[in-house]
Chain A
Amino acid sequence: MDLSGNLTDETYRHPLPVRLWHWLTAATVLGLLFTGICILNVHPRLYWGEVGNEGTAAVVGLDPAGPAVAGHAAPAVLNIGHAKFDVTGITGVPFDYGNDGTYFMIFNAPESWHFGGLRAWHFALAWVLVTAAAAYAVYLLLSRRLGRMWLPTSAQLAPAAIRRDFWQHLTLRRADDRQYNLLQKLAYLAVLGLLLPLMVLTGLTMSNAVTLRFPELFTLFGGRESARTLHALFAALMILFILVHVFQSFVAGIVNQLGAMLTGYYRLHKETP
């Protein structure tokens, strides 16, 4: 089945807690991204600073550009800073909320899904994400997996090794897979140690109750609307990570990679001389 090279020894790489966490988090993050995009679409304008609404300038925004003509896509313009792009018919169709105005939806969630319900799901999934990530962080520390598998070794940090690692990635060549490679380790550390906490914190900065107790969050992210904009930016980085992560699994041999994350057993590749 494996098309990607010569396989030799099998190693038990991913114990059950790792596998459970991986798939639970994968499902949760996909759910959060999906509901998050639905929420963003209801007001697809991002602002910098404390305040942002239909009357203030957006950093990035999808706006109507004139009245809709029956039978045609309503004119829409994408503003990025001062630049304007005509995106009529590209970014989706307008959705009339009646009293609440018309918005351009990249993806029109059917009304029966309920905007309020999507938000409720977003926060429920956030609880799952945070609880699982906290439990996993404890597991990484207690099992010493963090030191054994996630932290770069001194050999990996040698300048020649760093250059080789970059070169292998650029040329899409499989790295020595007896351990996670340097860029892989750094990516995992950055996502779990930095991106995830930042996503949670920017999300919490949009909570009235949380910021009542911790108004410092506004200072940290430069205001409520800045936090919302950063939340969207970090979500985009998360999507980028997922795309690269899946792509790399294909480069490294998807059957072996997927099998290892399901069964725990990973088949090592013969070292190429």
Chain B
Amino acid sequence: MSTLWTRRSVLTAVGAGAAAALGIELVRNEDWSRAFVDGAERLTLRTQRLILAKRPLAREFSQAEVSAHFPVNGSRVAPGADYQRMVESGFRDWRLRVHGLVRQPLALSLQDLKRLAMRSQITMHACDEGWNAIGQWGGVPLGLLLTMAGVVASAKYVVFHCLDKKDSNGEFYYESLDLFDAYHPQTILAYEMNGKPLPVGHGAPLRLRVETQIGYKNAKYVDRVEVVDRLTGFGKGRGGWWEDSDNALWYAGQ
């Protein structure tokens, strides 16, 4: 048909071809992909901060709703004989350190932590894989520890250094939050689960509960809390183990 090679169809073909090439390059080019995905992450963070401005609380459930089975995910235990000895001694000689950009670094035993104001909450843990479970968590509000340590004005993030490794030759697990989520009233360092001391599978001696974000942000086996002004310098600098190794989103409020 003579109309096949009109000016219109040639222009259309050029335009459509260019658009398709750009789309393919967006997926293929790592820098472009990262810019696109990081841009969307910032947009999500800003939007969700807007709707969370009044700091609403996550739903809390009744005792009857606590899941009979709460899957153990990620690491099942921290490696090494030192950890085994800590478990056997009930973490008697272990200390949680809070340090970095603080006026008064802390070193607190499990007993010290239990003497502080305890917050108990029955909340839903939602894994990014798609499953969830409801559990009761008891622990110290992170905000209380940060206030005790006196966070300096330049601080922006809190990094959680953990005792576990996702693979035996790899780096220790770590995670991080910004101060907004760190000071959320339901963000706690839990030493108790379902009324009992936190089991090894769920991250003894201490695990983070951050109800504003998804499963992998809730670091287990927390050993050290470091207050920082930037996330570079830890792992690959993306703010957490999954973020570094699996391109997982650092802000996981989605």
- Are chains A and B native binding partners rather than an unrelated pairing? yes
**A53 in contact with B131 given A117-B248, A124-B36, A212-B57 (CB within 8 Å):** yes
With A27-B23, A50-B124, A120-B37 as given contacts, are A262 and B133 in contact (CB-CB < 8 Å)? no
Is B214 part of the binding interface, using a Cβ–Cβ cutoff of 8 Å? yes
By a CB distance below 8 angstroms, the chain A residues around B166 are: 99
Q: Smallest CB–CB gap between B248 and chain A, Å?
A: 3
Beta-carbon contacts under 8 Å, A101-148 to B: 114-117, 119-121, 123-124, 127
Report the count of interface residues on A (CB-CB < 8 A). 47
Q: Given A1-B1, A212-B211, verify A53-B71 contact (CB < 8 Å).
A: yes
Among B40, B58, B71, B249, chain A packs the most CB atoms within 10 A around the CB of B40
**Contact B129–A213 (Cβ < 8 Å):** no
| B235 vs chain A, min Cβ distance (A) | 14
Q: Does B213 lie at the interface of the complex (its beta carbon under 8 Å from any beta carbon of A)?
A: yes
Is A100's beta carbon under 8 Å from chain B?
yes
Number of interface residues, chain B, beta carbon within 8 A: 58
Residues in B with CB closer than 8 Å to A45 are 130-131
Across-interface contacts of A253 in B (CB, < 8 A): none
CA distance A52 to B167 in the complex (A): 27
With A and B bound together, what is the CA distance between A56 and B127 in angstroms? 15
Residues on B with C-beta less than 8 A from A119 are 128, 248-249, 254
Contact among A116, A212, A218, A259 for B248, CB-based, below 8 A: A116
B131 engages A54 (CB within 8 Å) = yes
Q: Is B155 an interface residue (CB 8 A)?
A: no
A50 to B134, CA, bound (A): 9
**Least Cβ–Cβ distance between B66 and chain A, in angstroms:** 10
Contact B249 A116 (CB under 8 A): yes
B132 close to chain A: CB less than 8 A = yes
Judge if B69 is at the interface, Cβ distance under 8 Å.
yes
The reply on A81 being an interface residue by CB < 8 A is no
Shortest C-beta distance, B86 to chain A (Å), equals 20
The answer to whether B247 touches A263 (Cβ under 8 A) is: no
Which segment of B41-49, B104-112, B221-229 sits at the interface?
Answer: B41-49
A209 and B71 form a contact (CB under 8 A): no
B69 touches A55 (CB 8 A): yes
Choice from A40, A52, A100, A262 contacting B132 with Cβ under 8 Å: A52
- The A179-226 residues at the B interface (CB cut-off 8 A) are 206-215, 218, 224-225
Q: Of all chain B residues, which has the CB nearest A100?
A: B73
Contacts A123-B40, A224-B124, A263-B12 given; indicate if A54 touches B71 (C-beta within 8 A): yes
Would A51 and B133 be within 8 Å (CB), given that A116-B247, A120-B37 are in contact? yes
**B62 shortest CB reach to chain A, Å:** 12
Please measure, in the bound complex, the distance between the C-alpha atom of A50 and the C-alpha atom of B51, giving whole angstroms: 23
Q: How far is the CB of B68 from chain A (nearest CB, A)?
A: 7
Check A123/B126 contact, CB under 8 A, given A99-B75, A208-B214, A262-B12: no
Which residues of B sit under 8 angstroms from A207, Cβ to Cβ?
A: 48, 253-254
Nearest-CB residue, chain A, relative to B167: A98
A263 CB contact (under 8 Å) in B9, B36, B65, B252: B9
B36→A209 contact, CB < 8 A: no
Q: Per a CB cutoff under 8 Å, which of A39, A99, A224, A228 touches B74?
A: A99
Q: Which residues of A contact B124 (CB under 8 A)?
A: 50-51, 224
Inter-chain CA distance A13–B253, complex, in Å, is 42
Q: Answer yes or no: A29 CB below 8 A from chain B CBs.
A: no
Which single member of A43, A117, A127, A211 contacts B246 (CB below 8 Å)? Answer: A117
B18, CB-defined interface residue at 8 Å: no
The residue from A27, A54, A215, A263 contacting B59, defined by CB atoms under 8 A apart: A215
- For window 55-99 of B, CB contacts with A under 8 Å fall at 56-59, 65, 67-71, 73-76
Q: Which residues of B contact A212 (CB under 8 A)?
A: 52, 56-58, 211-212
How many Å from the CB of A253 to the closest CB on chain B?
13
Given A114-B247, A265-B8, decide whether A208 and B71 contact each other with a Cβ distance below 8 A: no
A96: interface (CB < 8 Å) = no
Question: Interface readout for B219-254 with A: 1 if CB under 8 Å, 0 if not?
Answer: 000000000000000000000001100111100111
Q: Is A2 an interface residue (CB 8 A)?
A: yes
- The residues of A with any CB-CB pair to B shorter than 8 Å are 1-2, 23, 27, 39-40, 42-43, 45, 50-56, 98-100, 114-117, 119-121, 123-124, 127, 206-215, 218, 224-225, 228, 259, 262-263, 265
Please give 15 more A-B residue pairs, beta carbons under 8 A apart, in addition to A51-B132, A114-B248, A209-B253.
A1-B1, A42-B129, A55-B133, A116-B242, A120-B248, A123-B249, A206-B254, A208-B58, A208-B126, A208-B253, A209-B52, A209-B213, A212-B212, A228-B130, A263-B9
Q: 16 interchain pairs (CB within 8 A)? A: A2-B1, A43-B130, A50-B65, A51-B67, A51-B132, A53-B132, A98-B167, A99-B74, A116-B243, A116-B246, A120-B247, A120-B248, A124-B37, A212-B211, A215-B59, A218-B59
